[in-house]
Amino acid sequence: MTETVKACGVPAIINSDQGSQFTSDDYKNLFRNLNIRQSMDGRSRWADNIMIERWFRSLKTEQLYPNEYRTPRELRRLINQYVDDYNNIRPHEALGYKVPNEFYFACFAA
């Protein structure tokens, strides 16, 4: 998080779920010190974080349900393959038809 803020600037807001890493005192203090507003979804409120919920739905319907896996290693391989394709091959309209990694790392090149 600190490296991203240094390279890309301080965002006005961070959206997250209520995972322990985002509710930890370390993160809360970091956000407070940088004047970053933290927006968290409510407990068991999928619609509050609809973008990531949609991403997980795509992961399941496009990669996990159509493919067989018998071991945790095979499952991990399928997930890693999907994430790699999503970040490096699949252009996104919202990112000006760039792939996420191209869009993300452009802020480090500036």
Task: Return the amino acid letter for 13.
Answer: I
Same domain, 98 and 50: yes
Same domain, 86 and 102: yes
Residues in a beta bridge with 39: 15
SS3 of 48, please? helix
Q: pLDDT value at position 23?
A: 86
Same domain, 8 and 31: yes
Query: What are the pLDDT digits (tens) for 34-85?
Result: 999 988 877 666 666 688 888 999 999 999 999 999 999 999 999 999 999 9
Average pLDDT, the chain: 88
Structure tokens at 102: 């191209």
Q: From CA 42, how far away is CA 21, in angstroms rounded? A: 16
* Beta-carbon count within 10 A of 24 CB: 11
Q: pLDDT value at position 110?
A: 62
Strands (E), the chain: 13-16, 37-40
> How many domains, in total, are found in the chain?
2
Query: Whole domain around residue 32: which residue ranges?
Result: 1-40
Same domain, 75 and 33: no
Question: Is the overall model pTM greater than 0.85, yes or no?
Answer: no
